[in-house]
Copies of this chain bind each other. A is one copy, B any other.
Amino acid sequence: MAQIHWKPDKQSLVPMHKQIFDFIKDKIALGDWSIGNRLPTQMEMANAFDVNRSTVLEAYEALKAEGLIESKKSAGTIIVNNTWSVLASKAPPNWEKYIESGYQKPNLNVIKIINELNLDSKMIRLGAGELAPEMSPVQYMKSIYDHLLMDVNYMGYEEEKGLLQLRVEVCKYLKPMGIDVNPNKVLIVSGVLQALHLISMGILRRGATLLTEQATYIQSLTLFESHGINFTGVAMDGEGLIVADLLRKASVKKPELLYTIPSFQNPTGVLMSVKRRKAILSLCEKERLPIIEDDTYRELWLDEEPPAPIKAGDKNETVLYMGSISKSLSAGMRVGWIVGSERVINRLADIKMQTDYGSSSISQWMCYEFLAKGYYQSFIKSLRHELKIKRDFTLKILDQYFSDIATWQKPAGGFYIWLTLNKNIQMYRLFESCYRQGVVINPGNIYDVSSNKNIRISFSYASLQDLEQGLMILARMIKLNLSNR
């Protein structure tokens, strides 16, 4: 009998002995535990479930009453029956086996827990990489809907690369940044995450290596791991990727791609300098090493406009450029874009058609209206103002409560402040003790598995009040965990 990872839910209204009874009955019904198998002793079970022995006893008695188990001297408690009649004909397919045989890895456990905690509106979300609900661009929606009523009279499938009108607008939008492409080189996707999924399916061999910033969003995805793709981190400083380390890793690791977030990097908040952008492009051109430039946070500059994208200097189609409105307008619309060599875009478009038959037409039209009618730019302007207030407030709170336990840089934009604790900490324990206090944090080791001292603080989601309270609690928990070592 394999180790039991399940535990009864102590908050539930269902009595714990009933939960244990159901759990065991399910195991037997599913064939996971077979006739003749010995159940753990009541004591072992009580320990595994973290309950009193009497609770287990009650469950075992009920199972005996149903004729499913029997206690035999010396042999212990044995499963003696699993016929469907006994189990009220409850014998579904062995779904667990199916679930285990799919190649796609589940999401990181911590991320799953974060997602679940996020459903509880009382939680203070210090890690959330998204705009606060009240920052949604609802004030524009009346006009957007009016335009949609006029512009949209067809609601069927869109072209392979996405709504042409939107692709034209994306080209217009990119031009002032120095990216001059035609709509054939643009693929509309449901956000950068999907773009990465398509890349993992379409242009990477199993066993390929991707260079990334040392701490990076992409490391939090199990997507690539499922396809046998590896990451190698490149060291960073305050100007972004360190060229010498990039060069070294590029020659040693024979990577297939460089994935970088040059503007307001996730999770470190670092803005790559002009000089660094140029050096990296020219290095990659020489090595014929393609770059994936993820420019999701570009519009969220809070002090001054960031340098031109790497893509702007790209004469050889070395760069696949990604953008999105998920962080700067609406995550729920699920619209982003990839721009690059037409052959690659064709390939990715073909795969997108095979996986979801294109992104939501109505979302694409809405995004078109936001761009074409200028609402996007007005919205971002006010958004920057709000985010700046939140960033500055957060920095003030950090000064107040964290100056003796951590260091950080002031980010020039984006959502994130990358805390570096003065000492290593048991990250998962800190995460747990925080959420027990009602605060959800994103531990840094999601983004850099080797780190035991980083936390990604997001100032985009929580209210000022929650930021202050959440950070106070976090500081307290850090001190508590450090002293409890």
Contact = CB atoms under 8 A, between A and B. Distances in A.
A192 to B, nearest CB: 9
Interface string A193-210: 110010001111110100
A344 B35 CA distance: 25
A312 interface: no
A206 B103 contact: yes
A354 B313 CA distance: 32
A188 to B, nearest CB: 12
Nearest to A131: B156
Q: Which has the most chain B C-beta neighbours within 10 Å: A89, A353, A355?
A: A355
Interface in A361-377: 361-363, 366
Given A154-B332, A155-B332, A205-B102, A193 B148 contact: no
Interface string A347-364: 100110111111111110
Nearest to A98: B203
Interface residues of A, number: 89
Nearest to A202: B102
A176 interface: no
Interface of A: 89-96, 98-99, 101-104, 106-107, 112, 115, 119, 130-131, 133, 136-138, 141-142, 145, 148-149, 152-160, 190-191, 193-194, 197, 201-206, 208, 221-223, 226-227, 256, 285, 288-290, 315-318, 326, 330-334, 341, 343-344, 347, 350-351, 353-363, 366
Given A92-B317, A101-B208, A103-B201, 19 more contacts: A95-B290, A95-B317, A96-B343, A101-B203, A101-B205, A102-B205, A103-B206, A106-B347, A133-B154, A136-B155, A136-B156, A141-B149, A142-B149, A190-B359, A191-B357, A193-B356, A197-B356, A326-B357, A334-B360
